[in-house]
């Protein structure tokens, strides 16, 4: 009897992932059908389309283009189409129900059903294109976000410190050479003493980064006290961490993997592996043997352990990962997921700053967020005058 229960339990555990996948793709296909149906109704009314099977095939290929592009090197261009499709799905699901309701209500107006479909579809298309244009501008036109903080510790040789922080560049297919140049130019405007990169520097693996020779541009980014970074979740997804580390080494970018770097006798930089790595060290373990009379600046890609950072004596912790939702209204989700999903928060002696990121994931679209480089001006406790 007990053996039968155990066997059934094992079968259920094995089937659960399969059932989850089936449920996900079933729901996804329903959403694709809903979007495609709306486009077909408008197109067949406005343009008198006459080939529904061909249209359905095109929609199906577009809907699965991201997966197809990732599976085949020869079809890698499809992953770019698939990236934009994510934005189409999100804003299609927000706009199309309003569109459907409008057409329904217009049945009681003098407009014919055909005119209602055409005009409602045209207005919806205009709003969608406006969102895409605004989102593209926000994604490719970075701003400098400035913060000034005071750390009541002596920085010894440094009374003040200016840091440039850039996270979530996702350098790859859509965040390419031009965006690398934007980063370098933006950082040059700050003239930082130190540059910190809290994760997701590349988009999964370094192949596109190397092929497009982005390193040659990024190497022009300089700071007197050096450039330091940590791993993000996407470096883990690419499963090419050794190759990534080698590329960063060529650029004099020090990737800290559960490591602490002491800058002169002035302050510490603590860099954690990403939360994706279940074996990473705790903040407490990394910080406990440090001289806490000196400032401690930490990088942790995902802003999930601010309380532990405060309790471990960290003075400033820098994160990214959230993209501030990237596309409105996703920020409502990230605000519920994280104590701080973007901006600045002080928890007693801890200063926490989360960047919305310099790049983007999926579509190069930002609505309700902006690509940014964070500028932090730190003032330390002044030496006692004799």
Q: State the first-to-last Cα distance of the chain, in angstroms, to the nearest integer.
A: 84
CA distance 262 to 290: 10
The model's pLDDT over 41-99, given as tens digits with 9 standing for 90+, comes to 999 999 999 999 999 999 999 999 998 888 877 777 888 899 999 999 999 999 999 99
Return the percent helix, strand and coil in the chain, to nearest 5: 50, 15, 35
Indicate the pTM of the whole model. Answer: 0.91
The model's pLDDT over 307-329, given as tens digits with 9 standing for 90+, comes to 999 999 999 999 999 999 999 99
pLDDT at 383: 57
**Domain covering 144-380: architecture:** 4-Layer Sandwich (3.60)
- Name the β-bridge partners of 20: none
Tokens of 113: 């059903």
Peptide linkage before 329 cis (omega within 30 of 0): yes
pLDDT at 132: 95
CA distance 175 to 199: 15
- Stretch(es) of the chain classified as CATH 3.60.21.10: 144-380
């Amino acid at each position: 009897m007990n053996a039968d229960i155990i066997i059934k339990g094992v079968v259920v555990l094995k089937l659960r992932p399969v059932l989850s996948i089936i449920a996900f793709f079933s729901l996804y296909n329903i959403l694709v059908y809903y979007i495609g149906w709306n486009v077909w109704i408008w197109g067949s009314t406005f343009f008198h389309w006459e080939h529904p099977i061909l249209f359905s095939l095109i929609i199906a290929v577009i809907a699965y283009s991201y997966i197809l592009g990732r599976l085949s090197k020869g079809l890698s261009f499809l992953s770019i189409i698939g990236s934009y499709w994510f934005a189409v799905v999100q804003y299609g699901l927000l706009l199309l129900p309003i569109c459907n309701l409008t057409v329904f209500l217009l049945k009681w107006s003098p407009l014919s059903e055909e005119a209602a479909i055409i005009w409602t579809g045209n207005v919806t298309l205009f709003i969608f294109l406006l969102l895409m244009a605004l989102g593209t501008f926000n994604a490719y036109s970075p701003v400098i976000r400035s913060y000034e903080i005071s750390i009541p510790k002596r920085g010894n040789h440094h009374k003040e410190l200016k840091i440039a922080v850039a996270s979530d560049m996702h350098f790859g297919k859509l965040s390419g050479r031009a965006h690398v140049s934007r980063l370098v130019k933006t950082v040059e405007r700050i003239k930082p003493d130190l540059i910190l990169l809290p994760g997701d520097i590349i988009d999964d693996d370094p192949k596109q980064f190397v092929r497009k020779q982005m390193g040659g541009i990024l190497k022009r980014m300089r700071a007197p006290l050096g450039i330091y970074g940590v791993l993000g979740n996407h470096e883990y997804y690419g499963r090419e961490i050794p190759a990534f580390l080698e590329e960063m080494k060529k650029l004099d970018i020090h990737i800290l993997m559960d490591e602490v770097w002491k800058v002169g006798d002035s302050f510490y930089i603590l860099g954690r592996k990403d939360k994706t790595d279940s074996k990473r060290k705790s903040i407490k373990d990394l910080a406990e043997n440090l001289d806490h009379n000196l400032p401690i600046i930490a990088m942790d890609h995902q802003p999930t352990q601010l309380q532990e950072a405060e309790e471990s004596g960290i003075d400033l912790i820098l994160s990214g990962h959230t993209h501030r939702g990237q596309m409105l209204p996703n920020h409502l989700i990230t605000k519920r997921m994280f104590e701080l999903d973007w901006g600045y928060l002080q928890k007693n002696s801890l200063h926490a700053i989360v960047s919305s990121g310099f790049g983007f994931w999926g579509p190069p679209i930002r609505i309700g967020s902006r690509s940014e480089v964070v500028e932090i001006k730190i003032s330390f406790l002044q030496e006692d005058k004799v």
